[in-house]
Structure formats: C-alpha cells, structure tokens
A and B are shown apart, each in its own frame.
Chain A
C-alpha cells in the first residue's frame, strides 16, 4: 500500500480520503445486509416459535455474553480515542490506544472461546446429542446462535488483523495526521464489529430471559 501518497485518479488527498471513507461506509452497509438475512431469520422464527425460543434463550451463557458486551463497548471507546490521537498526529498515544483495543478484542475472543467450550459441554450444539432434543425450534435457535456469533467472531478476527497492521505503522509514526485515512477506516470497521454485537447481545442473551 502506498499510504499517504496521492493516487493518480484523485486531485487531492482530501478527495482521496473522502472517497475511501464513502467506500468503507458502503462496504459496511453490505455487511449489515449480509447479517440482515440472519436477523430476518431470527425474527421470523422468534415470532413463529415463541416457546421453543424462550426455552433455548435461557440456556445461553449470560455472564460470558455480558462481559463480552462490556469488553467490546470499551474497545469501541479506546479505538475512538486512538483514531482521535492519530488525527492529532500523536503517535505514542495513538499506538497505546490501538494496542489496548487489540487487547480488549483478544479478551473478547478468549471469553467467547470459554463460552463456546461451555456450550459444547452443555450439549447446545444442534445435532444428535442436543440438550433440548424434544424442542426442534430450540435447535433452530442454537443453529442461528452459532452462525451469528461465529460470523461475528470471524469479522472480529479480521478486525484484529487490521488493528495489528495499524499498530505497526502508527508506532513508527506513520498513518497519522494527513496520512491517517487507513487508521480512521479501521476504526470505522471496528465500530461495525461493535454495533453487530450490540444487536446480538440482547437478541441472544436477554430478550428470552424474562418469560
């Protein structure tokens, strides 16, 4: 990547920056619609099978889900602070915030791993030994649970990779100030990972617990 250098199709760095920002927003719109199919499926089956989904929704690990929500929301804050520092060309602060964001993201994955192990232990994987075998809709619930959280984790992993690239550059004083577009865009992507969890958390961990 020839960061910070004006590409030939643009007249100014500002125009180039605007274009990549718009491009990333559009990309995130496609990502939301990609997840949208799953949200749609969840909404439909939640409506059709309220009892089966209520039974299944109580079995998710509330502790892990809540800790993760806290971790990821905090990482959203640290990332925003990192981007802000990068825009002000404060490389040491920016690299510290980005590193902290990576740590929080990694912690999320660790908690998720513990949670997955616990889920498997409790036979919450759809299939032959499924815990709620007498409840086919619960099977659909957990099928959606694994797909949605798994897909989210994949996106988070990609985000960690991007953050690592940003961190390596920022600590050497690159990708900040006028050439900080990549840092800002990574922050935008991280925000998306955050927002998806903000929807997944209440859907999968909260709404079926009150019944």
Chain B
C-alpha cells in the first residue's frame, strides 16, 4: 500500500493539494499561507520602524500609523503566530510522532485550513479597502462607536479564523487521546505532544470566548444598544475582561508549542533524555491552566480594585514557576550532554536566552506598582516581542530547520543556517532591547511621533530591525533553494529518537509502512561514554 512513493509525489496537480486530507500536505498549505501573512505584517512593522527613525511624524500620518500597527498586530497574532507551530509543524509532525496514519478527523483538518483562508481574505480585504485603526485589541467604545474604519470586516475575519483554531485544537486533542501507536503511553509521548496538547486545550476553550466577544462588539457597533457604551449604562471594561479572557491564554498559544520544539531539539543535540520528564510535561499543562487565571494583569490601570489587582498579580507571578521549571530542566538536560551546535540547536540556545529575558521582564509587569509606570509603554512592547518573536518565531525557525529534512527530504545548507540563527539573535536584540529602555524612560506605545531625546534608542531599534530582516530573508532563500538542490536527507539525519524519524524522508502518504510499536521511554539515547 505504500508503494505509491512519498506524500509529495502523490499527485502534482492543484486539485491534489487543494482537496487533500493528508495532514502533511495541509501542514504545507498552512506554511505557504502563514508566510504570506508574515510578509505583509512584517511590511507594516517596517513602515512603523521607518517612521520612528525620526522624532517628528514625516513618513506616515498618525491615522495611517494607527492602521499600520493594527495590521501588524492582527496579522501577526491571528494569522501567523497562532497557526505557526501548531498548524504547520503540528499538523505535519503530530500524527508522525503518534505513529498514526493521519489526524483523527482529516476532513475537518482541511476545513480548518479553508476557514483560515476565508478569515485571512476578509482581514486582507479590510486592510485593502482602508484598514482598521483600533489596534489588535479592539477596545470599546472606540471600536464600537468612534472608529470610522473597517472594524466589522476585520472582526468577521478574526471570528472565522478563530473557528479554524478551534477545529485544529479539537483534532489534536482527539488524535493524542485516541491514535497513539501500541506501547506509546502518555508518559512515553515526546514532550512536543504534551505542549501541543496543552496548547490545544487553550485553543478549544479560549477561542469561543473571543468569538462571542467579537460578536458582542459587532452587534454593539451595528445597533448601538449600549452593552459596552457607558453613555447607555454599559461597561467598556467588561469588553476588556472578555477580550483578555481569551487573549491572555492566547499568549500561551504563542509560546507553549515553541517550548515543545525546544524539548525535542535540546535532547537531540545533547544526546540525553530530558531532565525531569514529568515536570516538563506537567509544566505545560500548568501553564495552560494558570494562563486562564491571569487575564486581569492587562487591566491594572483600568479601574480594577486593589484586591482584584493583588490576586491577579499573585497569579501572574505563579505562571513564572512552570515556565522557570522548563528553563531549569532544559539547562539541566544540557549538563554533561554531548552537545553539538547545528542550526536548530543554535536557534534554541538563542531562544533560552531571549525567553528568560522576556519572562523576567514579565515579572516586572505583573507587579502592581511597577506596572502603573510601565503600562502602555515600549517596555510592554519589548516584553511581549521577547516572548513572541524571541520565543515563538525563534523556535518556529528551529523546528522548521529540525524537521526540514523530514518535510522535504532535503538538507538545508548547514553553515548558512548557523549564520542565519546568529543574525536573527543579534538583530532581534538590537531591535527590541532599546525598547525596554525607551519604555522605562516613558515613551508610550502607539504614537507616530515622540520627543527628540528618545531618538537614539529608536535609531538603534530601526537598525536592528533591518538586521532582523536579513535573519528572515536568508533562510527563506536557502530553504527554498534546498528544496530542489539540497543534499538528499536520510530518514534520520540527526540520529534523533521519536517515531517521525523511523519512517522515510519524506514520509509515504500513509506515514509508516507498518504501524510502529513503542517499547522505550521518550529520548532514549544511548548512554554517553566519557
């Protein structure tokens, strides 16, 4: 049955891609589509960074600047980061890691891609016909009453894309429960699956609340009944509660999968089992659960009572515990390992540094008094970019390189890969570290002009952004090149454990010639000799 060649050869016409139910092809469909959104969102970021090169507003009008940061936020969050690792790498790797032929619901999987595309087209349409200026947070009553931009179309796009997330998460949860290969018990699962499982819980349980929040916002905008309008007795802060009840857990959608990739790569390139498997596994679940209880820390200055603020502050500190457990355990895994520095590992080491900085500055922001000073400044911008770009984008790049031989059957050029990982790290830090200082000095976010004394840091940041751009362009070029011209990959080029390496590269359409049987714990690397 597997004589039909690998999954890439199973049909070459457009129909064989657009109507495929093969999880591997759907993963690649997602890869292509999120890259388009990434380029557009990065363009918006480039416009902002160029505008901020000088203190006065000279490149963009303030109204256009507002549209740029909205476009950047909406596209990056919902159309790149959230689907990045789960929908691209997760779709490709999860059934392989499980030793399964596909996800539990292949047609639903294809449907989720189409929903994503429909949502994306609506969002792009909203941008093309004039854009939206509310920021990605759609705070009321501005979004419901005052903004004269295409809020409804954009919200509809996000609403539909949200159902794509829900279906993907649902598919992963059911697959991990029901499709594990014989012998693959819960505590033998690769940690990537634990983190995808935790991510999926958030996708499934938080996204519907966003859907309802956007629905209420849209109804309010169309009929002006007053649910979020203080003039009619409504409460705009209720919108913030509902919005962040989704959007804070969503932040963990944008980091948990990256943590899973890290566990895979750290063990492979130090040739050791993970230190404290159960702790790393359960810390993912703990992050998912605690992530639902901390949304209030976005609203410390939105007239929240001191008691509620204290509770949310404490709970936010608590999230740091499972996150720190992960970092400590990864570090302990490295200890006395046989470490090598191939590209994926370089990205991951960069990630550990960036995530630590991003996580620790999160502690600053979770502290009530400090947050009053830092709220809505560039400090916040720097903090979450350290998590989302330093965390998720870096690990996405790491995972893409790590599984590239499996996906394409070709090796990428190693030296260029290492160079790109270093460029990304340098460019990223130069872009965002100055923003911590800017925020600490009091520069507010979301303005197109600023007092001249902030210029030095802004110039540094813009210069860093141009280096960062090279860090993205370089892999785009050589990965594309290697798809045709790279060295042919063996089934297991890294000598890694995990079922995905037990099949050919690229895998056949049904993944395995025969159902694999698992008899070892995860990361069962041979003992190291001194």
Interfacial residues, chain A to chain B (CB-CB below 8 A): 7-11, 15, 18-20, 22-23, 26-27, 29-31, 33-38, 40-41, 44-45, 48-49, 52, 126-127, 136-137, 139-140, 143-144, 147
Contact = CB atoms under 8 A, between A and B. Distances in A.
Interface centre among B105, B174, B177 (most CB of A within 10 A): B174
Contact of A33 (B174, B205, B223, B238): B205
Contacts of A140: 225-227, 232-234
A72 B137 CA distance: 39
A48 B237 CA distance: 13
24 contacts: A9-B102, A9-B106, A10-B179, A11-B515, A15-B178, A19-B105, A19-B175, A22-B173, A23-B170, A26-B174, A30-B208, A33-B212, A34-B212, A36-B209, A40-B238, A40-B242, A41-B216, A127-B223, A140-B226, A140-B227, A140-B234, A143-B226, A144-B227, A147-B216
A30 B225 contact: no
Contacts of B223: 126-127
B104 A9 contact: yes
B342 interface: no
B429 interface: no
B208 A147 contact: no
Given A23-B171, A139-B226, A140-B233, 13 more contacts: A9-B103, A9-B106, A19-B105, A19-B177, A20-B105, A26-B174, A29-B204, A30-B207, A37-B215, A41-B216, A139-B233, A140-B226, A147-B219
A36 B226 contact: no
A76 B201 CA distance: 29
Interface centre among A36, A41, A139 (most CB of B within 10 A): A41
Contact of B226 (A26, A29, A136): A136
Contact of B179 (A9, A34, A41): A9
A135 to B, nearest CB: 9
Contact of A23 (B105, B213, B235): B105
Task: Give chain B's interface secondary structure class.
Answer: helix
A44 B101 CA distance: 47
A136 B224 CA distance: 12
A22 B178 contact: yes
B112 to A, nearest CB: 13
Nearest to B225: A143
A34 B209 contact: yes
Given A9-B102, A143-B225, A44 B235 contact: yes
A9 B100 contact: yes
Contact of B208 (A10, A18, A33, A49): A33
Nearest to A37: B212
Nearest 3 pairs of A and B residues by beta carbon? A37-B212, A34-B208, A136-B233
Given A9-B106, A35-B212, A139 B225 contact: yes
Given A37-B209, A37-B213, A143-B227, A8 B178 contact: no
How many B residues are at the interface, by size bracket? 35 or more
B385 interface: no
B510 interface: yes
B261 to A, nearest CB: 24
A49 B174 CA distance: 42
Interface string B250-270: 000000000000000000000
Interface in B189-219: 204-209, 211-213, 215-216, 219
B399 to A, nearest CB: 24
Contacts of A33: 205-206, 208-209, 212
Given A33-B208, A36-B209, A9 B101 contact: yes
A77 to B, nearest CB: 28
Contact of B174 (A22, A29, A38, A139): A22
B233 A126 contact: no
A17 to B, nearest CB: 10
B105 A8 contact: no
Nearest to A27: B170
Contact of A41 (B103, B104, B238): B238
B499 to A, nearest CB: 15
Interface centre among A9, A29, A31, A127 (most CB of B within 10 A): A9
B389 interface: no
Nearest to B511: A9
Contacts of B132: none
A30 B205 contact: yes
Given A30-B207, A136-B233, A37 B216 contact: yes
A27 B223 CA distance: 30
A36 B208 contact: yes
A122 B170 CA distance: 44
Contacts of A137: 233
Contacts of A36: 208-209, 212
Contacts of B177: 19, 22
Nearest to A138: B233
B166 interface: yes
Contacts of A49: 233
Contacts of B175: 19
A37 B204 CA distance: 15
Contacts of B232: 136, 139-140
Contacts of B209: 33-34, 36-37
A48 B241 CA distance: 15
A44 B223 CA distance: 21
Contacts of A23: 104-105, 170-171, 174
A140 B209 CA distance: 19
Given A9-B103, A22-B178, A30 B216 contact: no
A29 B170 CA distance: 10
A38 B214 CA distance: 12
Nearest to A30: B208
B101 A8 contact: yes
A140 B223 CA distance: 12
B211 A34 contact: yes
Contacts of A48: 235
Nearest to A18: B178
A40 B295 CA distance: 15
Contacts of A35: 212
